[in-house]
């Protein structure tokens, strides 16, 4: 696999994870963590914190780019559980 094909593959993966709601695009941190092959979401959280710090250091308002949310996930056949997640409006921060 060439360096260029890896770059294209990662771009397509990143693009496919982008969600849109009410005309506003965002990325879900849990899905990004999985795509980036983190073994557990909690290991990805320091990356998100670094991204928030970079956002703040650039003079941006963190609240304009990151939103803490609660989502329901499926557990087992019929169960659901509430988990925390983060919406990132500019995926490149992460």
Q: How many domains does the chain have?
A: 1
The pLDDT score that the predictor gives to residue 5 is 45
Task: Output the 3-class SS for 63-77.
Answer: HHCEEEEEEEEEECC
What strands lie across the sheet with 79-88, from one edge to the other? 19-21, 24-28, 79-88, 66-75
The pLDDT score that the predictor gives to residue 3 is 56
- Residues of the domain holding 47: 3-93
The pLDDT score that the predictor gives to residue 9 is 58
Per-residue pLDDT of the chain (94 residues; tens, 9 = 90+): 555 544 555 557 778 888 888 888 899 999 999 988 999 999 999 999 999 999 999 999 999 999 999 988 888 888 999 999 999 887 655 6
Largest CA distance in the chain: 46
């Amino acid at each position: 696999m060439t360096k260029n094909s890896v770059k294209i593959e990662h771009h397509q993966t990143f693009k496919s994870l982008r969600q849109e709601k009410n005309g506003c695009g965002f990325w879900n941190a849990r899905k990004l963590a999985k795509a980036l092959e983190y073994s557990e979401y909690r290991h990805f959280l320091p990356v998100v914190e670094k991204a928030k710090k970079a956002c703040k250091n650039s003079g941006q308002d963190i609240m304009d780019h990151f939103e803490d949310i609660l989502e329901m996930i499926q557990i087992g056949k019929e169960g659901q559980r509430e988990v925390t997640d983060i919406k990132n409006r500019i995926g490149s921060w992460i």
